[in-house]
Amino acid sequence: QGCTQKYIVKNYFYYYLFKFSAALGEEIFYITFLPFTYWNIDHSVSRRMIIVWSIVMYIGQVSKDILKWPRPLSPPVVKLEMRTNAEYGMPSTHAMAATAISFSFFVATTNQYKYPFELGLVAAFVFSTLVCLSRLYTGMHTVLDVIGGALISAVLLMLLYPAWDTIDHLLLTSPFCPLFSIVVPLVLCYNYPKLDYYSPTRGDTTTILGAAAGATVGFWLNNQYAAPAYTSKSFQPGFPLVTSAMVLVLARFFIGILVVLLTRWVMKNVVLGALGYRYKFPIRDLEARRRLEVEVPYKFVTYSSVGFTATVIVPLLHELLGLM
């Protein structure tokens, strides 16, 4: 299973298209697109996407480790990725995330912004389809894994949609929101299904729930203290993008991402250092970092700090620098 097959790329267009599309379902996309939406487009849209994304991904990750369906055999399949090879296949969480994010963004914006309904629908469909096809191209999933993931995500989105406004209102106004947002994800992470061997699914799930927990606490705090909301008027679809507006958007994004990445680096080292001191292991000991008592607090604290920084610290910095 650890053997890597050699292969020759004959069509570089498809190779780079689907390698890029696969990245749209990974951390690099989440840590850039979701904060970008919050900083430059609309707070309510970002909140709804994060709610849907965290619920869908948790259900998808847990389903993998309950069903335990293997990934495609290699050979005959040639696998272009190895990190997630230790995970089970059904359902494809890439397909679930792509469907959830693209269609929740479409549904959340269609009533707030003036743009052709058909255009938004096609864009969401193309985005999710590219990610789904990338999982087949890279040899990481079967057709059934991908279809199952997309369908599960679509059903969850339909079930959550009627409760969007209610959930959003409670997360912003309930005095129990911060406690609920931290305790529930932590309990879910510590009680994640146990496997016979190590798989990155628990760590990835902890990362997602931690980021969502930190962001949710940030949403609540901003609402309680009436933090100024970003206006999306300069970024309305169909509106001519003025050079100054684009500079503002890019400045918010690059400054924000720099702060977010710095937060992740600092917190990762601080938390791992503290846990290493507590449990007597060197920071670079990969096996020790995979233990439940280390992996869950390390990833949860690190990424909840990232979510909180993206929703509270970065907006304050933007305001201080006159980028609002």
Q: Give, in order, the Cα–Cα distances in Å from 67 to each of 63, 90, 112, 215, 293.
A: 6, 7, 39, 30, 25
Could you give the CA distance from residue 291 to residue 275 in angstroms, rounded to a whole number?
11
Q: Nearest 5 degrees, angle CA 251-CA 258-CA 99?
A: 85
Stated pTM of the model: 0.82
Residues annotated catalytic, as ranges = 94, 141
Residue with tokens 């430059």: 40
Pure H helices in the chain: 12-23, 27-40, 43-67, 93-110, 117-137, 143-160, 164-173, 177-190, 201-224, 243-279, 286-289, 292-308, 314-320
Could you give the CA distance from residue 50 to residue 217 in angstroms, rounded to a whole number?
12
Q: For each of the chain's 324 residues, which pLDDT tens digit applies?
A: 444 567 777 777 877 888 888 887 777 888 888 888 888 888 888 888 888 899 999 998 888 888 888 887 777 777 777 666 667 778 888 889 889 988 988 888 887 777 788 888 898 899 888 888 888 888 888 888 899 989 999 999 989 888 888 888 888 888 898 999 999 999 999 988 887 777 788 888 999 999 999 999 999 988 887 554 444 444 444 344 456 778 888 888 899 999 999 999 999 999 988 888 888 888 788 888 888 888 889 999 999 999 999 998 998 888 888 877
Could you give the CA distance from residue 80 to residue 93 in angstroms, rounded to a whole number?
17
Could you give the CA distance from residue 253 to residue 318 in angstroms, rounded to a whole number?
10
Could you give the CA distance from residue 52 to residue 142 in angstroms, rounded to a whole number?
25
Task: Read off the tokens for 175.
Answer: 């005095």
Q: Residue 231 has what pLDDT? A: 43
